[in-house]
Amino acid sequence: MASYVANDNIVRGIAMFLCLGCVAMSNLANLVAADFGTATSYNPPYLPTRCNGGRQDQFPAGNMFVAVGEGLWDNGAACGRRYRMRCLSGANRPCKEGTMIDVKVVDYCRISPCPATFLLSNDAFNAISHHPNAKINIEYAQT
C-alpha cells in the first residue's frame, strides 16, 4: 500500500513539473514573438482614415487605436490588425510601469516620413505614457 502512495506522489510531482514547464514556455514564446519600435501620439481629427473612411464604428472601445507607418502598413493589409504593446523607455522616464495596452490599426501614418512605428490615439498614448507627445520606445506583438 505504501508503494502505491509513493508512486502516486511521484506521478503528481511529475505532472506539476510538466505544467510549470508549459507555463514557462508559453511566457517565453510571448517574449520571443515581440518586436521593438517607437511610438508617439497623434491628434484629432481622426476621420477619415485610410482603412474605413469616415465610419465612426471602426474605432474600438476606449479609443485604443493606432496609425502605422510603411513598415507595418503592408499595402493596407494592416487595417484591423491588433497589437499588444508596452512602453520600455524614453526621455524623462515617460513609461507607466507595468501597463500593457491592446490597440487596433485604423489608419496609415499621414506624415512622411512617419515619425514612429506607431502613431497612437491620444487615449491610447496616455494609457502607457505620462508625457503627451513624447516619443517612446515600445515592445509590441501582433495578437
Same domain for 116 and 70, yes or no, is yes
Burial class (CB within 10 angstroms; exposed 0-12, middle 13-18, buried 19+) of 89: exposed
Same domain for 25 and 88, yes or no, is no
Same domain for 68 and 102, yes or no, is yes
pLDDT in tens, 48-92: 999 999 999 999 999 999 999 999 999 999 999 999 999 999 999
Contact of 85 with 103, CB cutoff 8 Å: yes
Number of domains in the chain: 2
Q: Which domain holds residue 2?
A: 1-32
Same domain for 50 and 2, yes or no, is no
pLDDT in tens, 30-60: 445 899 999 999 999 999 999 999 999 999 9
Same domain for 13 and 43, yes or no, is no
Same domain for 25 and 77, yes or no, is no
**Distance (Å, whole) CA 81 – CA 66:** 10
Burial class (CB within 10 angstroms; exposed 0-12, middle 13-18, buried 19+) of 69: buried
